[in-house]
Amino acid sequence: MKKIQNNLSILILMITSLFLTTACSDEYLDNTKVYAEDSESFFNSEADYYNALVAAYDPLQSTFINVLMGEIASNNTLAGGESATDVPGYQQIDDMTHTPVNSQLQNLWSWMYGGVNRAAYIIENQDKTDFEGKNVIIGEARFLRAYYNFELVKWFGAIPIKPEGRFSVGDEKTIPRAPINEVYNLIEEDLKYAVDNLEYTTPQVGRATKAAAEALLGKVYVYQEKFTEASDIFDSVITNGGFMLETDYNKIFEFQGENGVGSVFEVQYTDIQGAGFGCLQCSEGNVAVGFQGVRGYSGDLFTSGFSFNVPTQEMVDQFEAGDNRKEVAILDIDAWATTTGATFTTGYEHTGFFNRKYIPRKRSADAAGDLNLTNPNNYRAIRFADVLLLAAEANNRKAIPNDTKARLFLNRVRERAFGNTTNNITLSGSDLTDAIYHERRVELVGEGHHFFDLVRTGRGSEIPGFTPNKNEVFPIPIEEIQFSQGNWSQNEGY
């Protein structure tokens, strides 16, 4: 017995000596130094908010894929490229044979959600630190979230949304695809906040203004056929925004026309930083421009590209005689080669036409490579002409139409195009509607809008291969359906 007691006391001695000497608990592990900025301990100063806002603008540059692929999806252009298997994702969308297996659609999905999350990161932390002018930064963040969400709803229809902030791991299994009207509600709320908090002028060129928010809100109304609300908000942009139509249509798409008098919102690009195929969305340049350049081109004014997104003869024929926009929007490469002596090679689905607004221009000597991926052409995301035509449509189609006003807006655009008033439209009612639709197509060709104009107005069947009640939206990428583990269903027909 004594022996056992002895052993016991030794044991107790051992244990107590250990815990006395190591008087230390797991709390010791909590106090490690890091010296690295953690996303959860950010937003401590105005500079933090500003830096996060800049980062939320950044994914706008990845919308090049929306523009390029949106145009390819329409009946304006063919996919082109080098061969029938050059970027299969584009080829399939051109032919309306696309399926949920499509890397380009997957890119679009994840890049736009990249933008949504960066904007939501600021919105989520909006109450953390106060400073004068914070409402402007929050306003811009909400504008940006609306912009990205609008892209997503246009492409995919019902999408998961999370108004309070960023998505976190597991949300894909629990947050459902919100119905389209709920998505639009969130977009409208975000934009109304932006309209209320932003000014018509910005501290820096490239940032969103009140006018940009109003114009986007008007567009969002038109997409929902809320024409009365749309015409009201467009009136405000048109009256108070201070915009004019640039007289020289050609100048709009040249470098000297960037951020010009008719630019309501513009995605900014530059070529002073290099880029590679490994991360297209990281490029500070407009990747779409290189993709739709003339293959093997050597000659005046332009440089070469990958010959995607080539306009069809049918599109080119939409231009009426005397329309000054045709020479600006469409490059007839054979004619151009004949007059200038330029040389080029032909790619797949060669039509002889190129999207002249956004093909590569000659560059400065210090442009960083890969030059195909760093074209500095800004994307004129919302042009004043776009606003005028949407306003015309809203006035024409609202419950109590105002065709006079609609014609006024429409003809402002036509007067610039033709340089006279003799081509002004005098129609009204549904004839006027058709005239507005036609005007949108030619004014905005090559800018990525036409496919969505067609489907929102029920004219999708004009696109070869289009299946109604299916191709109005694109399929949710297969990977996302799998990640959601049954939470998200696929769009109808896919």
Partner 1 sequence: MRKQITFLILLFIGFAVTAQTLNVKGVVKDAANGDVLPGVSVIVKGTKLGAESDFDGMYSLQNITSGSVLVFRYLGYKQKEVTVNSATINVSLEIQAEALDEIIVVGYGKQKRKDVTGSVSIVGEETFEVLKPIDATTALQGTTSGVAVNLSSGAPGAKVNILIRGVSSNTNNQPLTIVDGYEGDLNSINPNDIESITVLKDAQAAIYGIKGANGVVLVTTKIGKKNKAPSVKYQTFASLQQTTRKLNYLNATEYALVLNEAYAVSGQSLPYNDVSQLGVGSDFQDELFNDALLMNHNISVAGGGENFRYFMSASRTEQEGIIAKQNSNFIRNNIKLNLGVDLSDKLNFSVIANYYTSASNGFDNSVLFNGLNFAPTFGLDEDDTANFLGIEIVNPLSQLNNTFNEYNGNGLEGNFKLEYKPIEGLSITSRLGYKIYNDKGRTFTPIQSYGSSKVFNQLQSSVYQYKQTSTRVVWENFANYEKTFAENHNTTFTLGTSVQNDLFDGIYATGINVPNNSYDFADLSLTDPQNEQRSLNAGFNDLRLISYFSRLQYDYKGKYLFSGLVRRDAASVFDKNLRVDHFWSATTGWKLSDEDFLKDNETISFLKLRASYGTLGNLVGNNLNRSFLSGEGTYVLDGSLVDGTAQGRIPNPLAQWETAVKLDIGLDVNFFNDKLSIVADYFEESRENLLIENFPVSGILGTGAPGGGNPTVNAGTSKNTGAELAINYNAINTEDASLNLSYNVTYVKNEVTDVNGGAFIEGGSFAIGNLPPSRMEVGQSIGYFYGLQTDGIFQNQAEIDAHPSQNDLGANVTSPGDIRYKDVNEDGVIDINDRTNIGKPQADFFMGFNLSGRYKNWDFSAYLYSELGKEMVRNYERFLPNVNKPAYYLDRWTGEGTSNSVPRLTNDATNNKLFSDFFVEDASFLRLQNIQIGYNFSPNTLEKVGVAKLRLYTSINNLFTLTDYSGFDPTINGGAIGAGIDYGSYPSARQFIIGLNVEF
Taking CB under 8 A as the criterion, which residues in 441-480 touch partner 1?
477, 479-480
- Does residue 73 interact with partner 1 by CB under 8 A? no
How far apart are the C-alpha atoms of 74 and 372, rounded to whole Å?
24
Residue 460: CB minimum distance to partner 1, A: 26
Q: Which stretch binds partner 1 (CB under 8 A): 131-139, 246-254, 279-287, 329-337?
A: 279-287
Cβ-based neighbours of 361, under 8 Å, separated by 6 or more? 254, 255, 301, 302, 303, 375, 377
Q: Site for partner 1 (CB under 8 A): which residue of 66, 102, 263, 281?
A: 281
State how beta strands 353-355 and 330-332 pair. antiparallel
Instruction: For residues 164 and 171, give the distance between their C-alpha atoms in angstroms, rounded to a whole number.
Output: 13
**If binding is defined by CB under 8 A, does position 180 make contact with partner 1?**
no
Task: Please choose, out of 55-63, 288-296, 408-416, 417-425, the segment that lies near partner 1 by the rule CB under 8 A.
Answer: 55-63
Which of residues 15 and 335 has its CB atom nearest to partner 1 in the complex? Answer: 15
- 80 has which bridge partners? 308
Residue from 8, 12, 19, 430 that binds partner 1 (CB under 8 A)? 19
Closest distance to partner 1 from the beta carbon of 356 (Å) = 23
90-94 long-range CB contacts below 8 Å, 24 or more apart? Answer: 90/308, 93/69, 93/474
- Sheet strands (E) in 243-322: 263-267, 294-295, 304-305, 308-311
Q: Closest CB to partner 1 among 106 and 318?
A: 106
Among 111, 227, 249, 291, contact with partner 1 (rule: CB under 8 A): 111
Stretch touching partner 1 by CB under 8 A, among 198-206, 210-218, 309-317, 359-367: 198-206
**Does 38 interact with partner 1 (rule: CB under 8 A)?**
yes
Q: Is 399 among the residues that bind partner 1 (CB under 8 A)? A: no
Three-state helix/strand/coil letters over 145-197: HHHHHHHHHHHHCCECCCCCCCCCCCHHHHCCCECHHHHHHHHHHHHHHHHHH
What CA dihedral angle connects 93, 95, 96 and 102, to 10 degrees?
Answer: -30
Neighbours of 28 (CB within 10 A): 9
Work out which of 64, 90, 109, 223 binds partner 1, going by CB under 8 A. Answer: 109
Contact flags string 299-318 toward partner 1, x per CB under 8 A: --------------------
Question: According to CB under 8 A, which one of 7, 240, 430, 490 is a site residue for partner 1?
Answer: 7
